[in-house]
Structure 1
Amino acid sequence: MFENIKEGFVKFITSRAVIVCFVLFSLACILVYRLFSLQVINGEYYLDSFKLRIKKEKTIPAARGNIYDRNGNLLAYNELANSVTIEDVYKSGSGKNAAINETLNRLIDIIEQNGDNVDHDFSIVLNDNNEFEFNVTGNSQLRFLADVYGHTSINDLKYEEKTKTAEEVVNDLCKTFGIGEYETPGVSSSFVPRKGYTNDRALKILTVRYNMNANSFQKYIDTTVASDVSDQTVADVMENAYTLDGVSIEESTARKYVDSVYFSQVLGYTGKVSEDELAELQKVDSSYGINDIVGKSGIEQAMESTLQGTKGSETVYVDNTGQVIETSNYVDSVAGNDVYLTIDKDLTEACYNIIEQSLAGILVSKIQNVKTYTYTETSSSSNIVIPIYDVYYAVFDNDIVDINHFSSDKAKDTESKVYQSYLDKNASVLAEIRNELLEKKTPYESLSKEYQWYMSHIAANLYSDGIINSALVDKQDATYIAWTTDEVISLTEYIKYAIAMNWVDVSKLSIDNQYADSEEIFNQIVNYIIDELSADYDFQTRLYKYLLLDGNISGTDVCNLLLEQQVVEITEEEKALWNRGGESSYTFMVNRISNLDITPAQLALDPCTGSMVVTDVNTGDVLALVSYPGYDNNMMANGVDAEYYAKLRSDNSNPLYNYATQQKTAPGSTFKIVSSTAGLMEGVITTDSVIYCGGIFEKLDHPPKCWIYPRGHGGLNVTGGIRNSCNLFFYEVGYRLGLVGNSYSSDIGLQKLAKYADMYGLSEKSGIEIAESEPQVSDEDAVRSAIGQGTNSYTTVGLARYVTTVANSGTCYNLTLIDKTTDSNGNLLEDYSSSVRNTVDMPQAYWNAIHLGMRQVVQDKSYYANLGVSVAGKTGTAQESKNRPNHSLFICYAPYEQPEIAIATRIAYGYTSSYAAQITKEALTYYFELKDTDDIISGTAQTLQDGATNAD
């Protein structure tokens, strides 16, 4: 029995079923043990091992250093701010683009509904016609295109990539980032870039996507969508965070500028580094990265390495999705150093206000209650008047009122009335243009002034849009000359001729038939013209000019528009007077200008710009550098406000342009000090030499005349020549400088004039640390160059160095804007001072003769009588166009006995040098505290004496 049991047990345990169960049980035990080992004993180790851990070094930006004036007044600083950022946490796949774009679309809605703006640091912007255009040119544009199309060098760009329009680049990028829709939803069809988006919204989303793409290799780095946003935006973003994947609020700093409009041209602004800037900065400091904020212009750019500071760092571990899983090794950043400028904040602001008040005063004195002013051959540039209708039109032309609001649901009575007049005019003009092109074909010279403008504008657009390829046009062709110069044929004839000559790019037209004949091509061009004009902002704005001149819009309408859009505010008394018809539209507008309710910059009529540079004659320090008008660089520094930037670019007064350092004009008679020096030092005259002025210089074939002609000054020495600004005296000096024996050589005279212009620093930039135009010393006609004509062309700051050298009798400085630098704790790092470029070694008797002449110039000005400080100076008038007023210049120094400061002032298209001299007088009054500040800076138009004369 035992044997049977044993045999049965053996059979049982050796059966296949038992063996299989045992094996399975053993495997289960091993599996349980292994799972226990993996998940419990070594769970943490294997979890860490399973996760992809990528070690990255993340930089922490440093706070930028402050900028102060010479007296320690704060000009630029940092302020804690909040930024909206987005991180690429989206899973790769076909739906990624759509998900990101949808998030950004909703995010931008939140940002903009609270009055904040999306950062715009992209090289394409929207113009007034709602069309895409590049805001960079040359190599910068090519560098941008190379980045877009994935090339490391601009030399790798293909021809078709180099020649892409801004719209084509936008479309290419929108395809890449899926910004648009398919032609037929739900069906396999072609993708249409920007479909479903406005141009503005597409560009904003594209800007963020492009920046995100630049960080694609570092997904853990956020991309900033909007900087320095309001508390309401912060609250709304956080409230919707669960639906806005990757979006967060990040603490940052915002760059702020005090009284920005006064110092914008000097300080500049900051922004995200460009590829070109990065390459240059990395040559000096390899720590710069693609996401860094750097100085873009002005002192911010010039002192970048000082202001930037030292970045901090931390070690970041990210997983395979880019998510941060651990940070360590935190090293704090070190704030940048502070920069102290040589400029005086209060003096600069005073000079700016003086210029603005004085420009308003000039405008008021020149505005007349007439519709038009006709220029004739006998018209004087100093007597050009400003018709009040030019003022009315400026309200539309320079966007003082928002013409787009006329058609809105919230438009008020006058807006609606004006808009209806515009619609009628627009339809009428477009119909007439079509009729003119297809039927009438009137020669250009026979058209009205209005339609001449339309046809010229159309032709210019055909060139700029590439419809007519200007590179193919033969400028010597008889038909081309008949259109452009002789003006004896119609635009229709010219276009048809261009088609016949294959100057037209048919690919830019909507022509399906590749074998279309010339008539079909012409008809398509006409359709193209009408379509383009319908969306052309310049054309639309121009219509208001003719609506005004035709009486369809009145001056009263213009004034009411200003009131309805709250562009200006008037007192209750004036409002009551206006409403009952007791004040004319002419008086209303003059009052607005007089009170600076509307500024010269807003009107952008001649004159609307000015510049002034004040220097310390004993150190070469720049005490004030003023360019009018300025702009708000706070709107540019913390992510460019695209709308504001577009307005600046289209502003007719060009506030982005530094008129003190970049504008060059002929110096006029201010150059006569150089000619005096050359004549004395070269021995062609002495202090006692007398030159007789009979009014006309007869030693040349085409004799130039003195300003006093047909009278003459009689006999003058060099002091009298300067005092009377006698052209003939200096013609003779220029002529003598060119004499070789008895033979006159203009080139020899020019060489000698250039030699002494160089001694006064006029052959080179002034030395200041910000961008400045190269000067131009005349290289033609020594006789006329001696009175500041020829091709002489200098900046205001260049003239300031020149008069500084005259004031201190020969020490020519390299001017400077930098006083010193300190660390963030106020410890001195470097004390700056102007360097001496050269000295003009000249006998004191010569200096005395020149100084006395300049003193007598000012003594002859009645408005300088009883000033309280003695001043020496020289006026200058420079003509650039017969149809526009002359440029007005004045250089001076004071006190005459022991000079402290020198001033150079230029009012572009400022009629007469008398105006520049009077503006400078007000600056001197402020500097030497000769009058109460409130009396000088009144906030209203400054009344100036006309004093129109050609004496300079």
Structure 2
Amino acid sequence: MFDGLRERIISIFTSRVTIIYLIMTLLCGVLLYRCFVLQIINGQDYLDNFMLEQEKVRDIMPTRGNIYDRNGNLLAYNELAYSINIEDTFETSSTKDKKLNELIYTLVKLIEKNGDTIDSDFKIAINEDGEFVYTVSDANLNRFLADVYDHADTKDLTEEEKASTPVQVLIYLSRKSGKGFHFAVGDYIDPEDTKSEFIEGKGYTNKEWLEIIEIRYAMSLTSYRKYIGTTISTDVKPETVALIMENSDILPGVTIQEDTVRRYVNSVYFAHILGYTGRISAEEIDLLNQRMIDEGATEGTYTSEDVVGKSGIENYLETTLQGTKGYERVMVDNTGKVLSVLEHKDAVRGQDVYLSIDMDLTMELYDITERKIAYILIQKLQNAKFAVRTTDSVKTIPIADVYYAVFRNNVLDISHFSAEDAQPVERDVYERFLSYKETVYSTLETGIRTTRTPYEKLSDEYKIYQYYVVKLLMNNGVIMTSEVDTEDSIYKAWDEGGNVSLGDFLDHAIAMGWVDISKLELESRYASSSEIFDALIVKIFKLCDADEEYQTRFYKYMILNDKISGYQVCKLLIEQEAIYVPESDINRLNSGAISAYSFMVNRISNLDITPAQLALEPCNGSVVMTNPNNGQVLALVSYPGYDNNMLANSVDTAYWNRLLNDDSSPLLNFSTQYKAAPGSTFKIVAATAGMREGVINTSTLINCNGIFTDIEPPAKCTAVHGNETVRTAIRDSCNLYFFNVGYRLATLNGYYDDAAGLEYLYKYADMYGLSVRSGVEITEYEPDVSDKDSVRSYIGQGTNAYTTTQLARYVSSIANGGTTYDLTLLDHIEDSYGRTVWEHEPVIYNTVEMEDYQWNAIVNGMMDGVNNKPYFADIPVPVAGKTGTAQQSRSKPDHALYIAFAPAVGEPEVALCVRIPFGFYSDYAAQLAHECLQAYYHVEPETDQSSYATDERRD
């Protein structure tokens, strides 16, 4: 028995299986021992020293080129700054979104602690009422929505997606899961139960919610490039840098980077020329990369992290100014720290651009323009409530309009009237406002419900209130415009201001199903018509209360109805310190030594309140001065300007919204993006056409009796001039002479042919370059050569409409004897070593061929016109000029226009066009042109502007 047991034991130990088991047991023991050493004995040390090495390729951004004026004065440059960059370093897991959102929340609080802000190109913001609003509209809004809903083309947007409200977009992006972007920004109804409903935005204020979405959305745009972070705040304070560094242990993936930010010198003067930079959009990436390829690059290098020119020269010369990116391949650890550099290529600095603009001259002309507009305001201002009007234009500005302007255009902060620290007059005016509003609301409701006065019989004040009620209902979708039958008799009667009341219109809208009852507070979806009507009344007053424009309008009628005095308006400006007021004027106002009217005149005269702040008519102006011998623009002025530093790098949303809501339209370039009839300045085209086609010559006499009766209705001249030649007709700006030219050109076939006359008009307008853009490298509207009413078109009426730049090109061609150059804002470009790599060469668009004696007739006529204005006498060289008055509306002042060049004898040095929209009289524009020439020729004004004897004739 024992022998058998021994043999079995021996067989077990000598078995191959046993040996394998023993080896495996030994190996497992060693493995367990090593695991014990690694995890228990040395685990913490290994964890502390662990580094994950990863290769990373990162761009080295080039320094953007500078922009200078023609004399080397710096206009745009770069300044070293620090930026905050965030990279998603979290491992994919069910809690990744939550961790990332918490990180962003913490980071934003740290950034904002010292007053820094988040950069945002997101198209949703929070308005003054705390509501989410879009910051773009129309095509730009559709592009944004297409990006949000992950469509390559806006045509792919569904109707539901197009109709998305800002809140719906935020909810969509905040979803826990689903197709497209979903950032899980919010929390569960029961935070402890992940199976409960997820509520988007829960746990955050509106501001916090929006900021997290902004950053998550920006990060998503670079997610396809691994280890490439997203810059979320630029130009941060040193205190913020220190704070981020101190908290780096709780901010994985957050780094501080050295960067540059764009700065502009004397920004208000040059904003419309230079434009500004900003974060690139998805659409711009494709466009700019294609532009690089078109310019000879093998590939485009623009990515979503780039800052590019958004407008102006910054945009036009983007690829020139941008420079060439470098790169480096590095090894980094798990914290993003660089362990080694594998490869490095330096970036190439952008090229420097030198403009044709003269900085000092442009600034002086801008200031002159502002002072001239203020002068016009004072000249036309009357201590009255209403303007003096004639049958065809407005002649004065009532002081009541000035008082109301400081409310309407936000010179005063109306919201502060009800603040705890409001001053005595602020509190008094606010109480009066509440009382007046209550009266208006009561009268409105009575009028809608019971009295039902037809719209045409209402007072002007209540016409405005009721008109805006319907506008608010339509804008907010309560009345569905898509459902309204515009041919309906009741609708047409209302729309045309006819014999229908607002109450009747609303009853009809309800009956016809135009009202979206889901927008009303109804207890039942099966409410009766009277219940819907009652709910509609409630909705109306809620909308009125929420609409700032509607509320501000009350102040206009409070002023007109003597509920607020001019003295109180002046005191409000002083209490809020909205403008600078000398202590002496404050004392004189308080003592009654000066009236409220005189106080406001002083403020306008001293530019304590600027024309732009008042946004009355006029409040805009433009000046374009050129070298007529090569087409270079020496000065381009658009008033008012804006501070493009506030929009560069990242947009200051509050400032942007102020610009958008400013009634003086500071974002519009009035030199290139405002076109209107040229008035009598166009008569040089008519004279050229008439002489070239032989219907007149320099000796042709035409008798002006004040009215041209060969067409119906008859066309009128501004005066009875008697016999005129082409020279004297230009001097006197005789309409009837050039009516005859237009008529004769239209009857060359033996009968009156309007289209034939217009063909000749186009032919000669094109010779002077008036059929195309002028050539300036910034955004410019297309011109309109008149296409109707041949006779009147030859004096600059009809549908003629041109920008100031286009008319400046036109007068430059007149000045040099017929060579029409393309205008340019550029002089030359230098590389980073100071070598000239491009230089402007004049580009000739066309040449107007005329005999010298014909040019002399035109130029002498223009010189004679200047000689009739004695204030030009101090200009040291002969000047040729032509006035132009253009009517846009009988309810507004006429436009004022003037073209000129000098010297008018010999080779010209300078040509210019000035325009003052709604500037009353062309003589005001001539005065402005005179002062611009004083600046060019360094003539010190001998007298102030009050010495002008303004010619108030229309020409």
TM-score, length basis structure 2: 0.91
Taking a change above 3 Å as real, the CA distance of residues 205 and 20 of structure 1, as seen in their structure-2 partners, is closer
- Partner residue in 1 for 2:948: 945
Residues in 2 aligned to 1:218 and 1:358: alpha-carbon distance in whole angstroms: 55
- Partner residue in 1 for 2:821: 813
Residues in 2 aligned to 1:351 and 1:58: alpha-carbon distance in whole angstroms: 47
SS class of match (1:666): coil
Residues in 1 aligned to 2:615 and 2:551: alpha-carbon distance in whole angstroms: 18
Displacement of 1:146:
1.4
Displacement of 1:282:
1.3
Displacement of 1:86:
2.9
- Partner residue in 2 for 1:372: 386
Residues in 1 aligned to 2:120 and 2:439: alpha-carbon distance in whole angstroms: 39
- Partner residue in 2 for 1:72: 72
Aligned with 2:661 (options 650, 670, 676): 650
- Partner residue in 1 for 2:283: 276
Displacement of 1:414:
2.5
Taking a change above 3 Å as real, the CA distance of residues 241 and 360 of structure 1, as seen in their structure-2 partners, is farther
Question: What does 1:340-489 align with in structure 2 at a 5 Å threshold?
Answer: 340-373=354-387, 375=389, 378-379=390-391, 381=393, 384-489=395-500
Taking a change above 3 Å as real, the CA distance of residues 425 and 799 of structure 1, as seen in their structure-2 partners, is same
Residues in 2 aligned to 1:583 and 1:101: alpha-carbon distance in whole angstroms: 61
- Partner residue in 2 for 1:782: 790
Instruction: Tell me if the contact between 2:921 and 2:954 (Cα under 8 Å) persists in the aligned partners.
Output: no
Residues in 2 aligned to 1:565 and 1:706: alpha-carbon distance in whole angstroms: 51
User: Are residues 1:298 and 2:298 paired?
Assistant: no
Instruction: Tell me if the contact between 1:360 and 1:942 (Cα under 8 Å) persists in the aligned partners.
Output: no
- Partner residue in 2 for 1:335: 349
Displacement of 1:314:
1.6
Taking a change above 3 Å as real, the CA distance of residues 174 and 37 of structure 1, as seen in their structure-2 partners, is closer
Instruction: Tell me if the contact between 2:85 and 2:230 (Cα under 8 Å) persists in the aligned partners.
Output: yes
Instruction: Tell me if the contact between 1:88 and 1:219 (Cα under 8 Å) persists in the aligned partners.
Output: no
SS class of match (1:212): helix
Aligned with 1:254 (options 240, 244, 261): 261
Displacement of 1:374:
6.0
Instruction: Tell me if the contact between 1:89 and 1:322 (Cα under 8 Å) persists in the aligned partners.
Output: no
User: Are residues 1:884 and 2:892 paired?
Assistant: yes
User: Are residues 1:661 and 2:672 paired?
Assistant: yes
Instruction: Tell me if the contact between 2:253 and 2:335 (Cα under 8 Å) persists in the aligned partners.
Output: no
Residues in 1 aligned to 2:86 and 2:421: alpha-carbon distance in whole angstroms: 35
Displacement of 1:290:
1.6
Instruction: Tell me if the contact between 2:874 and 2:939 (Cα under 8 Å) persists in the aligned partners.
Output: no
- Partner residue in 1 for 2:83: 83
Instruction: Tell me if the contact between 1:219 and 1:322 (Cα under 8 Å) persists in the aligned partners.
Output: no
- Partner residue in 2 for 1:310: 324
User: Are residues 1:209 and 2:216 paired?
Assistant: yes
Taking a change above 3 Å as real, the CA distance of residues 207 and 19 of structure 1, as seen in their structure-2 partners, is closer
Residues in 2 aligned to 1:439 and 1:374: alpha-carbon distance in whole angstroms: 36
Q: Which moved more, 1:296-305 or 1:405-414?
A: 405-414
Deviation track 1:164-214 (CA, whole Å, cap 9, x = no partner) reads: 234432343344434456667767765555566555554343322211222
Taking a change above 3 Å as real, the CA distance of residues 36 and 515 of structure 1, as seen in their structure-2 partners, is closer
Deviation track 1:734-771 (CA, whole Å, cap 9, x = no partner) reads: 10010044311111111101100000000000011111
Displacement of 1:14:
8.7
Whichever residue aligns with residue 146 of structure 1, its letter is A
Aligned with 1:632 (options 626, 634, 643): 643
Ranges in structure 1 where 5+ consecutive residues have no aligned partner: none
Taking a change above 3 Å as real, the CA distance of residues 95 and 421 of structure 1, as seen in their structure-2 partners, is farther
Aligned with 2:569 (options 558, 561, 584): 558
Deviation track 1:22-48 (CA, whole Å, cap 9, x = no partner) reads: 567623465379879999xxx9xx99x
Whichever residue aligns with residue 269 of structure 1, its letter is Y
Displacement of 1:64:
0.5
Displacement of 1:300:
0.2
Q: Which moved more, 1:354-363 or 1:149-158?
A: 149-158
SS class of match (1:637): coil
Residues in 1 aligned to 2:589 and 2:725: alpha-carbon distance in whole angstroms: 59
Question: What does 1:155-234 align with in structure 2 at a 5 Å threshold?
Answer: 155-175=155-175, 176-180=182-186, 193-194=200-201, 199-218=206-225, 220-234=227-241
Residues in 2 aligned to 1:129 and 1:224: alpha-carbon distance in whole angstroms: 29
Residues in 1 aligned to 2:114 and 2:951: alpha-carbon distance in whole angstroms: 53
Residues in 2 aligned to 1:354 and 1:417: alpha-carbon distance in whole angstroms: 39
Ranges in structure 2 where 5+ consecutive residues have no aligned partner: 176-181, 293-299
Whichever residue aligns with residue 544 of structure 1, its letter is Y
Whichever residue aligns with residue 836 of structure 1, its letter is I
Residues in 2 aligned to 1:344 and 1:330: alpha-carbon distance in whole angstroms: 41
Whichever residue aligns with residue 68 of structure 1, its letter is Y
- Partner residue in 2 for 1:544: 555
Residues in 2 aligned to 1:196 and 1:370: alpha-carbon distance in whole angstroms: 56
Instruction: Tell me if the contact between 1:810 and 1:840 (Cα under 8 Å) persists in the aligned partners.
Output: yes
Instruction: Tell me if the contact between 1:362 and 1:943 (Cα under 8 Å) persists in the aligned partners.
Output: no
- Partner residue in 1 for 2:904: 896
Residues in 1 aligned to 2:32 and 2:97: alpha-carbon distance in whole angstroms: 45
Say how many residue pairs are matched. Answer: 932
Residues in 2 aligned to 1:15 and 1:780: alpha-carbon distance in whole angstroms: 114
Residues in 2 aligned to 1:325 and 1:430: alpha-carbon distance in whole angstroms: 71
Instruction: Tell me if the contact between 1:89 and 1:323 (Cα under 8 Å) persists in the aligned partners.
Output: no
Residues in 2 aligned to 1:426 and 1:379: alpha-carbon distance in whole angstroms: 34
Taking a change above 3 Å as real, the CA distance of residues 736 and 440 of structure 1, as seen in their structure-2 partners, is same
Displacement of 1:515:
3.2
- Partner residue in 2 for 1:860: 868
Residues in 2 aligned to 1:944 and 1:521: alpha-carbon distance in whole angstroms: 65
Displacement of 1:322:
8.5
Displacement of 1:396:
1.3
Whichever residue aligns with residue 430 of structure 1, its letter is Y
Whichever residue aligns with residue 147 of structure 1, its letter is D
- Partner residue in 1 for 2:604: 593
Question: What does 1:724-739 align with in structure 2 at a 5 Å threshold?
Answer: 724-739=732-747
Displacement of 1:527:
2.2
Displacement of 1:704:
1.2
Instruction: Tell me if the contact between 1:918 and 1:944 (Cα under 8 Å) persists in the aligned partners.
Output: no
User: Are residues 1:923 and 2:937 paired?
Assistant: no
Displacement of 1:877:
0.4
User: Are residues 1:136 and 2:114 paired?
Assistant: no
Which gives a bigger RCO, structure 1 or 2 (Cα 8 Å, sep 6+)? 1
- Partner residue in 1 for 2:587: 576
Instruction: Tell me if the contact between 2:897 and 2:922 (Cα under 8 Å) persists in the aligned partners.
Output: yes
Instruction: Tell me if the contact between 1:725 and 1:951 (Cα under 8 Å) persists in the aligned partners.
Output: no
Question: What does 1:734-749 align with in structure 2 at a 5 Å threshold?
Answer: 734-749=742-757
Displacement of 1:931:
1.7
User: Are residues 1:614 and 2:625 paired?
Assistant: yes
Taking a change above 3 Å as real, the CA distance of residues 126 and 801 of structure 1, as seen in their structure-2 partners, is farther
Residues in 2 aligned to 1:706 and 1:755: alpha-carbon distance in whole angstroms: 25
Displacement of 1:427:
3.7
Q: Which moved more, 1:260-269 or 1:140-149?
A: 140-149
Whichever residue aligns with residue 265 of structure 1, its letter is H
Whichever residue aligns with residue 622 of structure 2, its letter is S
SS class of match (2:671): coil
Whichever residue aligns with residue 916 of structure 2, its letter is I
Whichever residue aligns with residue 823 of structure 1, its letter is D
Residues in 2 aligned to 1:436 and 1:269: alpha-carbon distance in whole angstroms: 51
